[in-house]
Amino acid sequence: MRGFSRQLVWGLAAVLAAVAGALAPQVGGRAAPPSAQAVEALLNRAFSSTTCVSYSGIQVVISWAGEQSETTVSRVYHRCPSQTRWEFQPTGRSPGWLVVDDGIHTWEYFSERKLVLVRPSLRLGAADDQRRWALLRRNYRFRYLGEGEVAGFPAVMIEIQPLTEGNPWRRLWIHPETGLILRAERYRWDGSLAHLSLFTELNLNVALPDHLFHLEVPPGVEVRQRAAGPTYLPVPEVERQVGMRIRVPGLVPPGYEFMGAGVTSQLKPGDTAYLQYSDGFNVLSFFQTKGSWSPPELANRRAVEIGGQTGLLGQGCGAWILTWAAEGITYTILGDLSPELMMAMARSVGRGWPTEPRGFVFAEEASCLGGGREK
Domains of the chain, by residue range, sit at 4-225, 235-367
Cα separation, 72 vs 64, whole angstroms:
12
Q: Check residue 217 and give its pLDDT.
A: 93
Give, in order, the Cα–Cα distances in Å from 355 to each of 149, 234, 350.
Answer: 44, 10, 14
- What pLDDT is stored for residue 363 in this prediction? 34
pLDDT for the residue numbered 365: 39
Q: What is the pLDDT of residue 59?
A: 97
pLDDT of residue 123: 63
What whole-number distance in Å separates Cα of residue 29 and Cα of residue 343?
43
Output the DSSP codes for 172-192.
EEE-TTT--EEEEEEE-TTS-
Residue 205's CB: how many other CB atoms inside 10 A? Answer: 10
Pair 328, 291: CB distance under 8 Å: yes
The predicted structure's pLDDT at residue 296: 63
Residue of 153, 182, 170, 15 lying closest to 89 (CA atoms): 15
pLDDT computed for residue 308 by the predictor: 85
Compute the distance between CA of residue 335 and CA of residue 344 in angstroms, rounded to an integer: 13
Q: Is the dihedral of CA 241, 296, 166, 26 positive or negative?
A: negative
Dihedral pair phi/psi, residue 191, rounded to 5° = 90, -5
Q: Where are the alpha helices (DSSP H) in the chain?
A: 4-20, 36-47, 126-139, 235-242, 339-347, 363-367
Query: Could you list the pLDDT tens digit for every one of the 375 residues in the chain?
Result: 333 333 333 334 444 344 333 333 444 445 678 899 999 999 988 887 556 899 999 999 998 876 778 899 999 999 998 899 999 998 777 789 999 999 889 999 999 899 999 988 866 444 566 778 889 999 999 999 999 999 999 999 999 999 999 999 999 999 999 999 999 999 998 898 989 999 999 999 999 999 999 999 999 999 998 876 667 889 899 999 999 999 989 889 999 999 889 998 776 777 899 999 999 889 999 999 988 776 667 778 888 998 888 889 987 777 889 999 988 899 999 998 898 999 999 999 975 555 544 433 333 334 455 443 333
Side chain identity, residue 108: E
pLDDT at position 68 is 76
Asked if the 4-225 domain carries CATH number 2.50.20.10, the reply is yes
Note the pLDDT of residue 292: 78
Provide the CATH topology of domain 235-367. Answer: Phosphorylase Kinase; domain 1 (3.30.200)
The pLDDT, as a whole number, for residue 300 is: 80
pLDDT value at position 9?
34
Name all contacts of 175-178 with Cβ < 8 Å and 24+ positions apart: 175/204, 176/42, 178/51, 178/53, 178/204
pLDDT of residue 51: 61
